[in-house]
């Protein structure tokens, strides 16, 4: 195990180059103000409008359901996929805990799959070894915004006739073989948490391949109540399934509606920042940018992750130069609630002390990437 890093305080954006920063336009502020002056500040017409725009741009024929967080979107996906107590679900060991904790809500048995050494995405070869007649679903996470090997994952899922649930919290705007993420699998969950490509303060979206599930999804996100029928005075005043308070608000949707006007610009800029890292670091010994140079998929460039020897030393060197860096995500089998450390994940074992996330966000300039890379090139 690597040596423990010293505690480092969070930096202010004016003090140096911070790791992440939210994108909020002036139009978003005006849109929120308009919402606060209206009748609807909870779930209302702006949520529905956002769903429509999202469908046209990302989910295509798949129904989008706006919810209160990416975690809500994942939990709703697991419910709609029919995951119940004792069901086995193959899921990545390396991800935000939001991917796996909702499976505990369903009392499912999580079967952790290893990572690919060149992407940190889930390894389809290990999925193939783990899948069985007991497998209820396969979960994959597009780490950093780079899509997983979806052809390979789909082949396995189709062979066993089980759904794929994509955690696309980091992959808004990514594509795989020309298809937008959100329009491929049975369920795809997105996040609009504070520092994602676009934000609703905190929010999420789940897209459904089976459009017949749309009404059920809408009921479950609102206590199990048919909200539309209730508002029209046609609801039979009965709840027949367990629901949750998972809806998005119009305040949040207002921010998203304004941000969607600039989404292509946001995505293109993030890609430029990531490509600048790739070009400037490609010949530097001891460091590698993961997820570079794929031709069959489009990286959403949410974060830039490198593999590096002496990670703690590099973090300290960067901080000395007022540059923030961190791990952001960790192997989930380190957590007691998820069963403790596994012994069959050799790729994760080899990489857990090597990966590091470098700054990438809309407040940066290409010159900032150059500064980060120059510090790295000076040695650590």
- The CA distance from 117 to 374, in Å, is 26
Interatomic CA distance for residues 324 and 322, integer angstroms: 7
Chain segment 357-367, per-residue pLDDT in tens: 999 999 999 99
Tokens of 259: 């941000």
Please say whether the beta carbons of 73 and 191 come within 8 A. yes
Q: What pTM did the predictor assign?
A: 0.95
Question: What is residue 9's predicted lDDT score, i.e. its pLDDT?
Answer: 57
SS3 breakdown of the chain: % helix, strand, coil, rounded to 5?
A: 40, 15, 45
Distance of alpha carbon 300 from alpha carbon 174, whole angstroms: 5
Instruction: Specify the residue for token string 């369903």.
Output: 106
218-242: pLDDT as tens digits: 999 999 998 888 877 778 889 999 9
* Strand order through the sheet with 164-167: 63-67, 204-208, 187-191, 164-167, 135-141, 88-92, 109-113
Nearest to 191 by CA among 202, 179, 182: 202
Which residue matches tokens 């857990």? Answer: 352
**pLDDT computed for residue 13 by the predictor:** 58
Task: Please name the helix (run of DSSP H) or strand (run of DSSP E) that holds residue 165, with its range, or none.
Answer: strand 164-167
Q: Which two tokens stand for residue 324?
A: 């923030």
pLDDT of 21 higher than 90: yes
DSSP helix/strand/coil, 11: coil
Q: What is the mean pLDDT of residues 60-82?
A: 98
| Element spanning 268, H or E | helix 263-281
Residues 6 or more apart whose CB falls under 8 angstroms from that of 237 comprise none
Provide the pLDDT for residue 7.
55
What pLDDT is recorded for position 3? 46
Domains detected in the chain: 26-260 (3.40.640.10), 263-377 (3.90.1150.10)
Residue 95: pLDDT over 80: yes
Give me the mean pLDDT over the 99-106 stretch: 98
Q: Comparing C-alpha atoms, which of 291, 240, 245, 326 is closest to residue 115?
A: 291
pLDDT tens per residue across span 330-346:
999 999 999 999 999 99
Condensed to tens digits (0 to 9), the pLDDT of residues 135-151 reads: 999 999 999 999 999 99
Residue-wise pLDDT tens digits, 257-276: 999 999 999 999 999 999 99
More confident: 3 or 34: 34
């Amino acid at each position: 195990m690597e040596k423990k890093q010293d505690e480092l305080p969070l930096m202010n954006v004016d003090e140096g180059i911070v790791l992440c920063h939210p994108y909020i336009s002036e139009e978003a502020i005006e849109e929120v103000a308009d919402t606060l002056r209206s009748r609807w500040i909870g779930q209302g017409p702006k949520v529905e409008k956002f769903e429509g725009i999202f469908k046209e741009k990302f989910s295509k024929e798949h129904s989008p359901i706006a919810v209160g967080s990416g975690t809500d979107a994942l939990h709703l996906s697991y419910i709609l996929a029919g995951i119940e107590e004792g069901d086995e679900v193959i899921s990545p060991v390396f991800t935000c805990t939001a991917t796996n904790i909702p499976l505990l809500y369903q009392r499912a048995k999580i079967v952790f799959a290893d990572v690919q050494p060149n992407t940190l995405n889930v390894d389809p070869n290990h999925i193939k070894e783990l899948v069985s007649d007991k497998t209820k679903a396969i979960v994959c996470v597009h780490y950093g915004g780079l899509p997983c090997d979806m052809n390979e994952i789909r082949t396995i899922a189709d062979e066993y006739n089980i759904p794929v649930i994509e955690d696309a919290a980091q992959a808004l705007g990514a594509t795989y073989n020309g298809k937008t993420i959100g329009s491929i699998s049975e369920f795809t969950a997105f996040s609009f948490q504070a520092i994602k490509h676009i934000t609703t303060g905190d929010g999420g979206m789940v897209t459904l391949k089976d459009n017949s599930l749309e009404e059920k999804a809408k009921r479950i996100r609102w206590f199990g109540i048919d909200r539309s029928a209730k508002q029209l005075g046609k609801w039979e005043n009965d709840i027949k399934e367990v629901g949750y308070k998972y809806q998005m608000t119009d305040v949040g949707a207002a921010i998203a509606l304004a941000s969607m006007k600039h989404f292509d610009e946001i995505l293109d800029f993030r890609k430029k920042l990531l490509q600048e890292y790739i070009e400037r670091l490609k010949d530097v010994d001891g460091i590698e940018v993961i997820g570079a140079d794929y031709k069959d998929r489009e990286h959403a460039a949410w974060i830039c992750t490198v593999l590096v020897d002496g990670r703690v030393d590099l973090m300290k060197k960067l901080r000395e130069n007022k540059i923030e860096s961190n791990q952001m995500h960790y192997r989930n089998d380190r957590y007691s609630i998820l069963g403790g450390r596994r012994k069959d994940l050799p790729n994760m074992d080899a990489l857990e002390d090597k990966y590091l996330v470098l700054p990438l966000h809309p407040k940066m300039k290409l010159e900032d990437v150059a500064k980060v890379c120059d510090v790295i090139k000076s040695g650590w």
